[in-house]
Amino acid sequence: MKYPERLRKYLVMGSQDCLRDPSFILEEAIRGGVTAFQFREKGKGSLTGIDKYHLGRKLRDICWKNEVLFFVNDDFDLFGDLDADGIHLGQEDMHVEEVRRAFPSTLIGLSISDERELEKAPVTLVDYLGVGPVFSTSTKEDANPVVGTDLIAHVKAVHPHLPLVGIGGINEENAHEVLSAGADGVAVVSAITLAENIRNAVKSL
């Protein structure tokens, strides 16, 4: 599978998002068709230090065994330690320029939640944009205001060749709206991690 298609069904998850074993959830999600994974271990109840590293390594190995892209959220040291395929950065995180200088060929994703952030984004240095929250979400405590599919369409119009995924409140009912607005993929937490039947949830996205 070529690169942008590999962002089509993008699971974002940390142990704090799981009521079951994260390795089980990831394996089931991959069987259902997840094509990329981001280890986002943060917020209430998340692991730190060596425990975070060990879980990350386990999830990375599951991804690699199945040819699923493995991204680390934010944590530049962990990204290096795990030799991840890519890193996902928010607006408050380490600067894209710095990461790109240190890792010329790694995949870099950047979160965008309004037009102003888009205007100042170093788009030539990133491999994809994460745009959202598209719909309301209770997964991210400090989530920005909902942007709807309008921002997706805007970003695609301004940068038609830059891959983009929507994130925030996406589920099997509304995923098609995100894709029809121009997104290359959907990034999803709870609609997968909390699904009773994970494989079916991913299939119907």
Position of minimal CB gap to Mg ion:
90
35 is in an annotated binding site: no
Task: Kindly state the tokens that stand for 59.
Answer: 């999830």
184 is in an annotated binding site: no
Instruction: Find the part of the chain contacting Mg ion (CB under 5 A) among 13-21, 85-93, 164-172, 181-189.
Output: 85-93
Residue 139's binding partner out of Mg ion, ligand TZP, none, with CB under 5 to 8 Å set by partner kind: ligand TZP
Q: Is 74 in the site for Mg ion (CB under 5 A)?
A: yes
35/139 with CB nearer ligand TZP: 139
Measured distance CA(73)–CA(78) in Å, rounded: 9
Q: Which residues are catalytic?
A: 40, 111, 140
Name, in order, each residue with C-beta under 8 angstroms of 130's C-beta and a sequence gap of 6 or more.
88, 109, 110, 111, 112, 164, 165, 166, 167, 187
**Minimum distance, C-beta of residue 75 to Mg ion, in the bound complex (Å):** 9
| Residue 84: strand, helix, or coil | coil
How far does Cα 119 stand from its chain's mean position? 21
For residue 196, with 0-12 CB atoms within 10 Å meaning exposed, 13-18 middle and 19 or more buried, which class applies? exposed
Q: Among 18, 47, 53, 90, which residue sits at the site for Mg ion (rule: CB under 5 A)?
A: 90
139 is in an annotated binding site: yes
43 is in an annotated binding site: no
Measured distance CA(44)–CA(171) in Å, rounded: 23
133/185 with CB nearer ligand TZP: 133
Q: Under the rule (CB under 5 A), what is the footprint of Mg ion?
A: 74, 90, 93
